[in-house]
Structures are given as structure tokens and as C-alpha cells.
């Protein structure tokens, strides 16, 4: 018999993953735009919480608008959008190993770095760039990771995300990365507080069992897993066992929430 999820508590606000929940590849997932409209009509606050580290918030907002979503840049929370405050807090001056498209949202590259900030650099994860970052780390630099997702699903299929490259640098430099994005507890809690709510009043909806669902639950949030995006057979049972809800899509989850 499949395990039963925990009953939902009071939900004051939602955190919604983007890739795999709102859209997939080059099109919106059926019903997702209407789901956001329903949330606005019910005055349910939400933030779009994503580990995407290839584009800026402004670019992502524009792309979502092109898919039919009525969203603003201010409603999007990314690791890069909070990285500057964290690095400043720690006195870190970074060497950047990120995709060039993300640079407008990132801290400034330091002339004499004492840290490395890694995002999903895609094709820019070359030997030369990885080795440059490695040399900063073996001189005592601190490693910061915008995310450590293993993979994601694009229009052309599954692709490696930043996680495997972060792990390579950790292994080579014998260090451990400070995680900024999901599933970092601080990231979830910061996004909940941005709406003015406590973690337990906030629910995370995602397609990634580890980063979205289990990460949110560990941070004290409620969570729901959708069967879109990178969802795989077996994820539903594990999600329910951990206390999460499971829905076919964001649209189905929102229909049940606002009914």
C-alpha cells in the first residue's frame, strides 16, 4: 500500500519551481498559466523559486511572459539574486564560473579572488575554466555553489546541471561548497520571508524530488511534487513517504487548493 502524505496545514503562500512546473522546453505546460491566474484571483501570494543559473531574472521574466505567464521580475527568486548579500556577509571576493548570460545578476569579478562562485556554466565548463577555479580553491579560497542539481530536462533531453562540476571541484580541492540555491534551507526560508510568511505556512511545488520537495520539507516547509518535468517513476512513493503531496501538474494542485 502506498504511503499517505501528511495532511496539509495552513498555506499562506506558495513557492513555485519554474522549469518543469511552469514550462518545459519551449512551451508552457498545459494549464500552468491558468493556474497562476487562479492564484492571483484568490489573492494567494507566490514566488517563482528557481535554481536556473544561465539567465538573469529579467530575461527569465521576459521568457515566461512570452509563454503567456503574467509575472514580474520581482516575483522571481534565484540563487544569483541573493548571492551578493551572502558573499558580502562572508567577506568573499569571487572568481566567477558562471554562464555569461548570468553576469548582470552576479557579484563583480574580483581582481584578487578569495572565493569561487559556481553556477550552471553549460559549455563554459571547460578544462581551462575549471582549472582556474581549482587554483583559487587550493590557495585557500571558499567554494560557493549557486546550485548543485545533478541534471535538468531541456528541449533536447536531459542535460548535466552544475552539481557534477561542483562535486569535481570539491573533490579536487578537498573542500565543501557553501550552497546558496536549492536545497539550501536559507534559500527556502528567505523566499518565504520575502512574502512575509513563516516556513510552515509556505508550500513548495516542484518537479525535482531532492532539490524541491525534500529540500523544502527539511527547511520546515510543506511540499508538493508534480508529475511533469524531470519526474520519474518511483518519485511519487518517496515523496509521499516524506510527507509531500503528489499531483499530476501545477494546474491539478492549484485546482484542489483553491476549490
**Hey, where are the domains in the chain?**
11-24+44-51+183-259, 82-179
Q: What is the pTM of this model?
A: 0.82
**E-only strand ranges, 127-190:** 142-145, 151-154, 157-160, 178-179
Hey, how many other C-beta atoms are within 10 angstroms of the C-beta on 220? 15
Residues 6+ apart with CB under 8 A from 145: 118, 119, 162, 163, 166, 177, 178, 179, 180, 181
Assign 176 to helix, strand or coil: coil
> Is it true that domain 11-24+44-51+183-259 has CATH number 3.20.20.150?
no
Fold of the domain built from segment(s) 82-179:
Rossmann fold (3.40.50)
- Per-position pLDDT tens, the chain of length 259: 455 566 677 899 999 999 999 999 889 999 999 999 999 999 999 999 988 888 899 999 999 999 999 999 999 999 998 888 889 989 999 999 999 999 999 999 999 999 999 999 999 999 999 999 999 999 999 999 998 888 877 778 889 999 999 999 999 999 999 999 988 998 999 899 989 999 999 999 999 999 999 999 999 999 999 999 999 989 999 999 999 999 999 999 999 987 6
Region for 68 from its dihedrals, namely left if φ exceeds 0, alpha if ψ lies in -120 to 50, beta otherwise: left
| CA pair distance 196, 27, nearest whole angstrom | 32
What Rg do the C-alpha atoms of the chain give, in angstroms? Answer: 18
Confidence (pLDDT) at 151: 86
Amino acid at each position: 500500500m502506498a504511503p499517505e502524505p501528511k495532511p496539509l496545514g495552513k498555506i499562506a503562500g506558495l513557492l513555485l519551481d519554474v522549469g518543469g512546473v511552469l514550462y518545459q522546453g519551449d512551451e508552457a505546460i498545459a494549464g500552468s498559466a491558468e493556474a497562476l491566474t487562479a492564484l492571483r484571483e484568490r489573492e494567494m501570494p507566490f514566488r517563482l523559486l528557481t535554481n536556473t543559473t544561465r539567465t538573469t531574472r529579467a530575461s527569465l521574466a521576459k521568457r515566461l511572459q512570452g509563454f503567456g505567464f503574467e509575472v514580474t521580475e520581482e516575483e522571481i527568486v534565484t540563487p544569483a539574486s541573493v548571492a551578493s548579500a551572502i558573499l558580502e556577509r562572508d567577506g568573499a571576493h569571487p572568481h566567477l564560473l558562471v554562464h555569461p548570460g548570468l553576469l548582470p545578476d552576479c557579484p563583480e569579478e574580483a581582481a584578487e579572488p578569495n572565493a569561487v562562485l559556481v553556477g550552471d556554466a553549460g559549455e563554459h565548463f571547460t578544462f581551462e575554466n575549471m582549472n582556474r577555479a581549482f587554483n583559487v580553491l587550493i590557495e585557500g579560497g571558499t567554494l560557493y555553489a549557486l546550485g548543485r542539481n545533478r541534471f535538468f530536462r531541456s528541449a533536447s533531453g536531459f542535460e548535466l546541471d552544475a552539481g557534477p562540476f561542483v562535486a569535481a571541484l570539491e573533490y579536487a580541492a578537498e573542500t565543501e561548497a557553501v550552497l546558496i540555491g536549492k536545497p539550501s534551507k536559507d534559500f527556502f526560508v528567505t523566499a518565504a520571508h520575502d512574502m512575509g510568511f513563516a516556513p510552515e505556512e509556505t508550500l513548495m511545488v516542484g518537479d525535482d524530488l531532492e532539490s524541491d520537495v525534500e529540500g523544502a520539507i527539511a527547511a520546515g516547509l510543506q511540499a508538493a511534487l508534480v508529475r511533469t518535468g524531470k519526474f520519474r517513476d518511483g518519485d511519487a512513493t518517496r515523496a509521499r513517504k516524506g510527507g509531500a503531496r503528489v499531483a499530476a501538474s501545477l494546474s491539478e494542485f492549484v485546482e484542489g487548493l483553491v476549490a
